[in-house]
Amino acid sequence: MTKNKTSQICIMTVTGIDKVGIVAKLATVMAKANINIVDINQKIMEDYFVMTMAVDIVDATVDMENIKKRLDKAAEEMSLKITFQDENIFKAMHRI
């Protein structure tokens, strides 16, 4: 990715019971839609496995609605709770 190219960062959150293959599965969903992963954070919060993943959807081959549909499917298969939102909502709410 060239430096001048615009980006549209989205944040995915994942919560649920830890198991093998969560990151692999979600990374595959992203790769298939030509979405670049730019950051991953993983923590234990309130007894849950929680992960946030920052991705750039500027070159994505599918729209937001379809990305979400694919993630919903993955969430169901692995008993996870997944959200996917444009990063600006978090910036607006948590940065002055």
Strand order across the beta sheet in which 36-45 lies: 36-45, 48-56, 9-16, 80-86
Question: How many residues interact with another protein (rule CB under 8 A)?
Answer: 26
54 is a site residue for another protein (CB under 8 A): yes
24 is a site residue for another protein (CB under 8 A): no
23 is a site residue for another protein (CB under 8 A): no
What is the smallest separation between the CB atom of 19 and another protein, expressed in angstroms? 20
Is 86:14 a contact under the CB 8 Å cutoff?
Answer: no
* Closest C-alpha to 70, from 33, 40, 17: 33
64 is a site residue for another protein (CB under 8 A): yes
Pick the piece of the chain touching another protein (CB under 8 A) from 21-29, 41-49, 70-78. 41-49
What is the smallest separation between the CB atom of 38 and another protein, expressed in angstroms? 9
Is 49:17 a contact under the CB 8 Å cutoff?
Answer: yes
